[in-house]
């Protein structure tokens, strides 16, 4: 494999990996606040892409993306309020099944609204054929939009959790709900907010990546599984770990496609997921001690 | 869990009466063609019953049950459609033919093909699925909750991706032209309309047999141990229940039932496609168990019979998946113990803020 070809695979892998990072962080945000794995997380990425494509027909691109993000955040909050908020001490089994049901409803809703067709936004700068040459590899400018957006999302979240009062409150809520509640933290509202935030960042990523990967009503499911793999690899709730694991998984997949039939790309990821779940469910970076304290 | 009422053999007898009554009713009303979907429903019900045992009694979720069904179905389809007549002179193949493992049948062009005996396909398909279930189950069943759900989902997705991506398995088209399975003298599992009534009774006979055996199982020492695991695994272990081994056994049993159903249904409809392995199929099986109520084999059977038949008749049309998604959400929100446990008054009182009286509501 020549250097420029390797670089080409690397960049493609990083682009996909960046999206997995965002989905994984979405899982982490909700998991930290509620202890729930929201199986509908991938659907928010799909919704972001689909709504932005729809809106971009009647308004400028930035406004369409903003609308898509806001709409997805509203859907995310609605899911929490309508389906999860009022359950008293639900079992994990029950919550898993409910979020799976919600993901099916969102997917079928998208199918009903937009049909089976594959859609995408136009390239933000340039078009399908324009590219930037780096060390002999040809890279689409949209790749820089994707990587930049994901970096922005990760940075903004870091700032939010470290520097803002609301971020501190959410961390308190994640650490101990009862104690946080006693200190006057509005736990219920923050849980709703966590769903809205997870949906919003998923939707933003979905809109930005759609010129490269395209989107369709069924795009959410595979993304959710990949994102979950990354979240587990990085350690649930550990967003720094998710960034490393997501980019690594994207690159591994990208190179796997160069030697295996493309249909087996997902098999590689999923086997990795199974192996990690079995051998090291606390993730590659977390200490086993900390993981044992968490509730699965 | 074990509700008072009719003893188990009486319930199975009642099931048999219902099965006969339905057949006579279709005959009397001239709707014999319903039997085709009813037969398929019976096979899918076997999958649901296995899953009901796993979810309802052992308390372990599986989002990969369609994967086991597909392993059985694809094994049967692959083995019974290969043609090894070119190798028939080789000693090993000659021996296999003499032992009846290979059977010759006429092909479309007047020649004969040499394929694997469907009985061998059944044994291999169920054996393969059980072996895979054991290999996957031992490590994966140590996981709980979300992790187990995701691990089984990953397993199901792998099976589905392999089915779609493998040319020898027909890729996106699947395998068609699977020959009928002469399972008893005079009874062939296949789609011919002459065999329709026999196939219907065969499928539902298997369901009745499964109900009888599973009913005994859940009332036995094993069944009590399973319910103890469901209630509180640590407590069950403290009482001397070998929880890990129990869970794996039930997982393998559920997988074997799914695979057997896959083998028989594949012979019945004459083929299998990758949609049978899809995650949505697995989710549907979970939905049927949920509707029937976790820990109620009869509930699961009723839910499977009604929902699967309606779905196969195309009653839900293009909204099939949406219907099952909606059912899942509604049942889990309002009646997590199954719709038989649904008490409208309990919900109303809960909404008013009054506690439901004991024994009412959820």
pLDDT tens for B241-271 read 888 888 899 999 999 999 999 999 999 999 9
A127 confidence band (pLDDT: 50, 70, 90): confident
Within 8 A by CB and 6+ apart from B296, the residues are B1, B3, B52, B56, B338, B340
- Mean pLDDT for B261-290 is 92
pLDDT tens for B317-340 read 788 889 988 988 888 888 877 776
Burial class for A81, CB neighbours closer than 10 Å (0-12, 13-18, 19+): middle
Neighboring chain B residues of A292 at a CB cutoff of 8 Å? none
Select the residue of B59, B327, B333 nearest A83 (Cβ to Cβ): B333
Q: How far is B329 from chain A (nearest CA, A)?
A: 5
Select the residue of A101, A107, A221 nearest B332 (Cβ to Cβ): A101
pLDDT, residue B360, reads 42
Domain assignment present for A265 = no
Domain count for chain B: 1
**Secondary structure (3-state) at A133:** strand
Q: Would you give the distance in Å from CA B316 to the centre of its chain?
A: 21
pLDDT, residue A182, reads 87
Instruction: Domain of residue B208: give its range.
Output: 8-278
Do A171 and A193 touch, CB atoms closer than 8 A? Answer: no
A219 confidence band (pLDDT: 50, 70, 90): confident
Could you give the CA distance from residue B135 to residue B139 in angstroms, rounded to a whole number? 8
Element containing residue A113 per DSSP (H, E): helix A92-114
The more confidently predicted of residues B304 and A127 is B304
Mean pLDDT of chain A: 85
The half-sphere exposure of A74 on its side-chain side, counting CA atoms within 13 A, is 7
Counting DSSP H helices and E strands in chain B, the numbers are 14, 6
Q: Identify from B168, B333, B350, B356 which residue to disrupt to test chain A contact, counting A C-beta atoms within 10 A and taking the largest count.
A: B333
Domain assignment present for A88 = yes
Domain assignment present for B57 = yes
pLDDT, residue B5, reads 61
Domain assignment present for A232 = no
The more confidently predicted of residues A127 and A54 is A54
Q: How far is A122 from chain B (nearest CA, A)?
A: 30
Instruction: Answer yes or no: is pLDDT of B232 > 60.
Output: yes
Element containing residue A134 per DSSP (H, E): strand A132-134
pLDDT, residue B348, reads 57
Within 8 A by CB and 6+ apart from A246, the residues are A17, A18, A20, A21, A24, A227, A230, A234
Mean pLDDT of chain B: 84
The more confidently predicted of residues A245 and B349 is A245
Task: Say yes or no: A221 contacts chain B, CB-CB below 8 A.
Answer: yes
Domain assignment present for B34 = yes
Domain assignment present for B303 = no
DSSP at A215: B
pLDDT, residue A268, reads 83
Domain assignment present for A156 = yes
Least confident of B62-76, B205-219, B229-243, B276-290: B229-243
DSSP at A282: T
pLDDT, residue A294, reads 42
Task: Say yes or no: B355 contacts chain A, CB-CB below 8 A.
Answer: no
pLDDT tens for B112-131 read 777 888 898 999 999 999 99
Domain assignment present for A12 = yes
- Mean pLDDT for B84-108 is 76
Beta bridge partners of A138: A133
Select the residue of B139, B144, B161 nearest A267 (Cβ to Cβ): B161
Query: pLDDT exceeding 90 applies to what percent of chain A?
Result: 35
Domain count for chain A: 1
pLDDT, residue B134, reads 94
pLDDT tens for A77-124 read 999 998 888 887 777 778 888 898 999 999 999 999 998 888 888 888
- Mean pLDDT for B303-326 is 87
Q: How far is A221 from chain B (nearest CA, A)?
A: 9
Contact B321 A108 (CB under 8 A): yes
Could you give the CA distance from residue B290 to residue B324 in angstroms, rounded to a whole number? 11
Q: What residue in B sits closest to A31 (Cα-Cα)?
A: B146
- Mean pLDDT for A4-11 is 86
Residue count (chain B) = 362
- Mean pLDDT for A146-153 is 92
Domain assignment present for B361 = no
B341 confidence band (pLDDT: 50, 70, 90): low
Q: What residue in A sits closest to B160 (Cα-Cα)?
A: A267
Select the residue of B143, B280, B326 nearest A281 (Cβ to Cβ): B143
Select the residue of A93, A102, A266 nearest B61 (Cβ to Cβ): A93
Task: Say yes or no: B286 contacts chain A, CB-CB below 8 A.
Answer: yes
pLDDT tens for A36-58 read 888 899 999 999 999 999 999 99
- Mean pLDDT for B20-34 is 86
Domain assignment present for A57 = yes
Domain assignment present for B333 = no
Contact A270 B157 (CB under 8 A): yes
Instruction: Domain of residue A36: give its range.
Output: 3-221
């Amino acid at each position: 494999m020549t250097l420029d070809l390797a670089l080409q695979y690397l960049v493609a892998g990083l682009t996909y990996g960046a999206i997995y990072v965002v989905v994984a962080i979405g899982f982490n945000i909700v998991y930290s606040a509620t202890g729930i794995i929201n199986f509908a997380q991938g659907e928010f990425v799909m919704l972001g892409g689909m709504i932005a494509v729809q809106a971009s027909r009647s308004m400028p691109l930035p406004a369409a993306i903003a609308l898509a993000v806001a709409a997805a955040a509203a859907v995310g909050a609605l899911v929490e309020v309508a389906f999860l908020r009022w359950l008293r001490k639900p079992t994990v089994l029950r919550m898993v099944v409910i979020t799976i049901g919600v993901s099916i409803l969102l997917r079928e809703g998208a199918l009903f609204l937009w049909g089976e067709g594959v859609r995408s936004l136009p390239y933000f700068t340039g078009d399908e054929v324009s590219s930037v040459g780096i060390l002999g590899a040809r890279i689409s400018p949209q790749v820089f939009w994707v990587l930049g957006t994901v970096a922005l999302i990760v940075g903004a979240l870091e700032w939010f959790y470290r520097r803002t009062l609301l971020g501190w409150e959410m961390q308190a809520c994640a650490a101990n709900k009862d104690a946080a509640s006693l200190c006057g933290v509005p736990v219920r509202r923050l849980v709703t907010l966590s769903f809205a935030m997870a949906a919003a960042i998923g939707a933003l990523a979905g809109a930005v990546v759609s010129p490269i990967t395209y989107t369709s009503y069924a795009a959410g499911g595979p993304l959710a599984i990949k994102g979950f793999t990354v979240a587990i690899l990085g350690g649930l709730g550990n967003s720094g770990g998710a960034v490393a694991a997501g980019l690594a998984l994207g690159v591994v997949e990208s190179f796997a496609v160069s030697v295996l039939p493309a249909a087996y790309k997902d098999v590689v990821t999923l086997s990795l997921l199974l192996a990690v779940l079995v051998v090291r469910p606390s993730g590659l970076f977390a200490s086993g001690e900390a993981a044992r304290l968490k509730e699965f | 869990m074990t509700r008072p009422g009719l003893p188990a053999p009486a319930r199975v007898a009642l099931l048999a009466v219902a099965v006969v009554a339905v057949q006579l009713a279709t005959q009397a009303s001239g709707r014999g063609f319903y039997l085709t979907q009813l037969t398929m429903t019976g096979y899918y019900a076997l999958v649901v019953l296995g899953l009901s045992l796993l979810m309802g009694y052992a308390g372990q979720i599986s989002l990969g049950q369609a994967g086991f069904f597909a392993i059985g179905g694809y094994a049967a389809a692959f083995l019974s459609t290969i043609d090894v007549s070119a190798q028939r002179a080789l000693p090993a193949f000659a021996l296999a033919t003499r032992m009846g493992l290979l059977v010759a049948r006429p092909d479309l062009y007047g020649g004969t093909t040499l394929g694997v005996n469907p009985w061998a396909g059944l044994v291999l398909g169920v054996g393969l699925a059980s072996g895979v279930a054991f290999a996957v189950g031992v490590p994966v069943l140590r996981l709980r909750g979300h992790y187990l759900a995701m691990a089984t989902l990953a397993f199901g997705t792998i099976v589905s991706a392999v089915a779609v991506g493998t040319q020898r398995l027909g890729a996106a088209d699947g395998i068609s032209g699977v020959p009928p399975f002469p399972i008893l003298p005079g009874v062939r599992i296949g789609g011919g309309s002459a065999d329709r009534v026999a196939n219907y009774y065969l499928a539902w006979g298997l369901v009745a047999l499964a109900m009888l055996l599973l009913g005994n199982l859940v009332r036995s020492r094993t069944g009590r141990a399973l319910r103890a695991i469901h209630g509180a695994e640590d407590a069950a272990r403290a009482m001397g229940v070998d929880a890990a081994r129990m869970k794996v056994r039930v997982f393998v049993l559920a997988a074997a039932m799914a695979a057997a159903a896959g083998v028989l249904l594949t012979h019945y409809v004459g083929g299998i496609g990758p949609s049978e392995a899809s995650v949505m199929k697995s989710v549907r099986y979970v939905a049927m168990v949920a509707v029937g109520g976790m820990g109620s084999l009869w509930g699961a059977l009723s839910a499977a019979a009604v929902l699967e038949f309606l779905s196969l008749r195309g009653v839900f049309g293009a909204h099939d998946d949406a219907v099952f998604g909606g059912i899942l959400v509604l049942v889990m929100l309002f009646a997590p113990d199954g719709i038989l446990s649904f008490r409208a008054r309990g919900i109303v009182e809960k909404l008013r803020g009054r506690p439901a009286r004991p024994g009412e509501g959820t």
